[in-house]
Amino acid sequence: MTLQKKLQINIVMSNYAQRSGSYSSSYDYIYLDNLASSSFSNLFRGDLKNLKIKTVNNTECSVLYIPSYGSQPSAILVRVPVGQISQNTKLLLDVHDTGTVFSSTLTTGSDVLMFDANSDTFSQFFMNYSGLSINNDSTDNGRFLRARFVPSLDGSSPTSLFTTFASGQSLSNNRVTVARFKRISGCVDVNDNATYHGSTTGSVMMQVDGSLTPYGIDTKATSLNWAGGDKDYLMFNGAETLVQVSSWDAYNQGSDSEGNYKQYHIHGRVGTGFSSSSDYLEGFSRNNPTKIYDNNFAEVEISPTFFETAEFEDYNYVDLKWLLIFPSPIIAANGIPQITVTERTKTGIRLYKGSHEYTKAYRGSTLMWNANDDDMDDTGLHIPDKIINKNWDWMF
């Protein structure tokens, strides 16, 4: 195992909002889906398993390596201590030789939920109905889960892919849902907070190819319930990755005859990923007057609807490779992160007196230098490049 390169991941979030005080976890989760497209990709294994990610103070982050599929690249879900996250988050990326293979250190089943058709039994994760089947996948010698629209006129069975393992995450934690498909096409709805035979207020993505409906309308559009509009070119078709986000920020709470409730500002987003090149729809519902009595997210529903072709001879279907669900107040509450990979920068000096390192320097009561502050924001001290990282014997 040889360390080849020290790089830096820069994550800049627009419209940055600090996490809600009601979110008590010590960690947040950031989905890195564009590392393979960086200018350093020739140093990365195709599965990214020669990469280790650390915080700027060199604490190793737990990661989950997400496999590529077809044209969809590998990705990494990284768990980051909340104290290391800001509007301009920096992570350190250690690149080892491509013969090195690291295993995931992030465990699924608690905060991070995942179904993988290659290895998991779908009956443990989804409501079973006649439209579900596991099929062999020639693309990666694995498997995929097919969910076909099967009308149920009496409502006695589901007509869509419906999870059974996703309920219980706190609404204040917010929710990110990532689904990778072998095939998604035609008319498909996704609700990230669904209840069977119930009503919900989550983010709902609706994709409609009008020619595949009984009405025969010549239109294609994707909409999101909070967005107040749609896109006629944001259509998921073929091997695609769908990313859906719900952010809930309570602005009011109270009690009435039905119990305790909260009212939320709601931010929803759906798109093809988190990279700057991803296409997405997003929208807000400020001061939503709906009284929400349930404090937890419900299930995820993926609904193929109507027909596969304009001949109306067969019902539509989706082929699911895996489904990943995790909480992320930062990703959910802010705009699409702009993620870049650069050479690791050294923008400060360490202060020494003999062998002792001074991590902070003050002039009187004013903090002039913080050696752990990688970007030097708000230090009030900017050192010329020619003296950066020298072992100067400075004292204030």
pLDDT of residue 145: 97
13, 112, 284, 329 from 21: Cα distances, Å = 19, 21, 20, 11
Report the candidate in 237, 240, 244 with the shortest Cα–Cα distance to residue 220: 237
- In this predicted structure, the answer to whether residue 388 has a pLDDT above a threshold of 50 is no
The CB density around residue 24, as the number of other CB atoms within 10 Å, is 10
Give the pLDDT band (50/70/90) at residue 21: low
Sheet holding 63-66, edge to edge: 27-32, 75-81, 63-66
- Residue-wise pLDDT tens digits, 211-268: 998 888 889 999 999 988 899 988 999 999 999 999 888 889 999 999 999 999 888 9
- Residue-wise pLDDT tens digits, 73-112: 899 999 998 888 877 888 999 999 999 999 999 999 888 9
pLDDT of residue 102: 96
Tokens of 97: 């030789």
d(CA 377, CA 87): 12
Q: Which residues contact 354 (CB under 8 A, 6 or more apart)?
A: none
Residue range 23-51: average pLDDT?
A: 87
Give the pLDDT band (50/70/90) at residue 296: very high
Q: How far is CA 282 from the centre of its chain?
A: 14
- In this predicted structure, the answer to whether residue 151 has a pLDDT above a threshold of 70 is yes
Decide which of 383 and 44 is more confident.
Answer: 44
User: Is residue 219 classed exposed, middle or buried when 0-12, 13-18 and 19+ CB atoms within 10 A define those classes?
Assistant: exposed
Coil/strand/helix, residue 123: helix
The CB density around residue 71, as the number of other CB atoms within 10 Å, is 9
H/E stretch holding 188: strand 187-194
d(CA 230, CA 171): 26
305 contacts 149 by C-beta, under 8 angstroms:
yes
- In this predicted structure, the answer to whether residue 382 has a pLDDT above a threshold of 50 is no
H/E stretch holding 31: strand 27-32
- Residue-wise pLDDT tens digits, 264-287: 988 899 999 887 678 889 888 888
User: How many alpha carbons lie under 13 Å from residue 220 in its C-beta half-sphere?
Assistant: 10
322 contacts 114 by C-beta, under 8 angstroms:
yes
Q: Which residues contact 213 (CB under 8 A, 6 or more apart)?
A: 187, 306, 307
186 torsion bin: left (phi>0), alpha (psi -120 to 50), beta (else): left
pLDDT of residue 216: 87
62 contacts 78 by C-beta, under 8 angstroms:
yes
pLDDT of residue 197: 81
- In this predicted structure, the answer to whether residue 385 has a pLDDT above a threshold of 80 is no
Decide which of 357 and 145 is more confident.
Answer: 145
